[in-house]
Amino acid sequence: MTPERSPRVGLLALMLELYDQSNPELRPDREVFARRIVGLLSECADVVYTGIANTRAEVEGACREFATQDVDLV
């Protein structure tokens, strides 16, 4: 973070992969919730959100994006 810009926050939304298999109807509701959090955080920070992650590869991808976007906080 520099004085010229707002803090940059990476939102890492986690969900068990099992829920996608056993209760796929949960994902849309969790996505709505995550978007609500993005909206709240956006009032005081720039937010980087890559979507819900439920596998190691998705978490690693989100973390790479956070590094690329130079986030200050995850």
Query: For residue 72, what is the DSSP state?
Result: S
**pTM confidence score:** 0.85
- Report pLDDT digits (tens) over 3-53: 678 999 999 999 999 998 999 999 999 999 999 999 999 999 999 999 999
* Structural domain count, the chain: 1
pLDDT given at position 4: 78
Domain-located, residue 73: no
Domain assignment of residue 22, given as a range: 8-68
Q: What pairs with residue 53 in β-bridges?
A: 14
Q: Which residues, other chains included, contact 11 with Cβ-Cβ below 8 Å and sequence gap of 6+? A: 34, 37, 38, 41, 47, 48, 49, 74
Q: 3 in a domain, yes or no?
A: no
Let me know if residue 18 belongs to a domain: yes
